[in-house]
Amino acid sequence: MAMRRLLYAVVFTFTFVLAGTLLEAQESQQQLEEKRKKIEAEIAYTNKLIAEIKTDKQTSINQLQLVESKINSRNNLLANYKLQIHALTVSIETTELSIRNLNNDLKTLKKEYAKIAWYAYQYKTSYNKLIFLFSAESLNQAYQRMRYLDQLSVFLRNQAKGISDKESEKAAALAKLQQKKEELKGLLKHESNEVYLLEGERQEKVKVTTSFKGREQELRKSLKAKEKEAWDLDKRIEDIIALETKPKSTAGKPATYALTPDEQLLSNSFFANKGKLPWPLERGVVSETYGVHTHPVLKKVQTKNNGVDLATAKNSEARSIFDGMVASVTKISNTNVAVIVKHGDYFTVYSNLDEVYVKKGDQVKTNQLLGRVHTNLKGETELHFEVRKGVVPQNPVYWISH
């Protein structure tokens, strides 16, 4: 009996641990599925932006950047499928192990049931039962034998129910296994399709890159104009931030710069939300990341971005990523207005707007609309966004939510 109790304890513990493992795998699978849907939506949105630009006869650097962004997203999607396939394969193997253990449990239960049932059969008739009871050496022993027969009957009923439950559990596990195998088949098919699409996008990139041949002079001129605009923006930002952080003197005291208590609270709150701040657009795709980059077409040419460029749909509006005060609304060119919002020690920059809804000194809230993003003659709509601590540029990717 002690051995039997130990067997039940082991079976129960294994089943409990296995159930926990399957639940964790299921949660992981759900997270991967949610991520997959987001990546697919991003690819669809990028295709929409490319379609808007393609109405122009000549290809542009922005179009090339969007194609590269789409390829990156497609690679992420493929990686996601590989993770899902791996997770599902592990889940299938775990389910198969569970079925094997259920078969072993059933074998053991049926074997024990057969043994006890045979033993119980000896006392099936009332005559045999009475002989067993009256052959006892004492009244106490007769009572113990009667209890034993009752317990034997209860054990057989429980054992029969246990066998029935295990059979049901096995049937459910087999059905689940078949479902998972069908899911795996579907995932492998999707993965194969994504590989095919990725190859098509790589060919698209080659085609777009090839279309720039013979246009080097035009590209250098365009790059020079863009760099001048970026330099002008950088200079304006530094001047405005320098003015905002200029030490102030009071009667009889040297000039010092310090945040007010409210500004310090705002600054601390902004920092505390690092990595959780909302996007400066309702929807967008990163067309150029922060930092130094090799030009996608011009050889041995590098460009620098103090923020990120976000491609978006026509008539999209920029919005503040946090509470703050509008430090400046400054015109960089005829079609490029920048809004700088102060968040204590931190500043956010929203550039390439052609219509602005706020003015200097306005208090703004998180997600408040600041202005409409400019769409150029080629159909490109792109917001330039920066985060700075004082005048020092920060990588916006580390600040906004993914």
Whole-number Å distance between alpha carbons of 217 and 320? 38
Are residues 276 and 189 both part of a single domain? no
In a domain, 289, yes or no: yes
Are residues 13 and 136 both part of a single domain? yes
Look at 328 and 101; give whichever has higher pLDDT. Answer: 328
Look at 84 and 255; give whichever has higher pLDDT. Answer: 84
Query: What CATH number does residue 27 fall under?
Result: 1.10.287
Q: Residue 376: is its pLDDT beyond 60?
A: yes
Whole-number Å distance between alpha carbons of 349 and 328? 10
Whole-number Å distance between alpha carbons of 83 and 89? 10
DSSP for 245-287 reads T--EEETTEEEE----HHHHHHHHHHHHTTTTBPPSSSS-EEE
Number of domains in the chain: 2
Tens-digit pLDDT profile for residues 154-189: 666 766 676 777 777 788 888 888 888 888 888 899
Res 365: pLDDT: 96
Are residues 367 and 281 both part of a single domain? yes
Please give the helix or strand (H or E) that residue 238 lies within, else none.
helix 216-244
In a domain, 215, yes or no: no
Are residues 79 and 194 both part of a single domain? yes
What range defines the domain where residue 382 resides? 222-247+259-398
CA end-to-end span of the chain, whole Å? 58
